[in-house]
Amino acid sequence: MPTFISLIRLTQQGMENIKQSPGRLEAAKKAFKAMGAELKQSYMVMGQYDMVVIGEAPDDETAAKLSLAIGFKGAIRIETMRAFTEEEYHKILGALP
């Protein structure tokens, strides 16, 4: 399955309810599973973002649905990008003219 990396920032609402964050993470894991995806890793980070999540989804559409479904509740802002493995990277470069 394709890999996706999500960079997450807490909103003011998310900060005001920070103690609910572990429950939101568990709900996100269930949402991933319900859509045939898998939340592989999550990290609390310091700096510009508050969390980084690495997941796998069957396709871009599923990844987009997950970002919207998790983000629309207002506690976080999500920036999701497709990540390519080293093997995929070599395949892409090998196909260049």
62 residue type, one letter: T
pLDDT band at 73 (very low <50, low <70, confident <90, very high): confident
| Neighbouring C-alpha atoms within 13 Å toward the C-beta of 61 | 0
CB atoms within 10 A of CB 47: 5
Q: Which CATH architecture has domain 3-94?
A: 2-Layer Sandwich (3.30)
User: CA distances (Å), 34 to each of 42, 57, 79, in order?
Assistant: 18, 11, 21
The per-residue pLDDT for range 21-66, each reduced to its tens digit, is: 999 999 999 999 999 999 999 999 999 999 999 999 999 999 999 9
The two tokens of residue 78 are 């999500």
CA 10 – CA 25 distance, rounded (Å) = 13
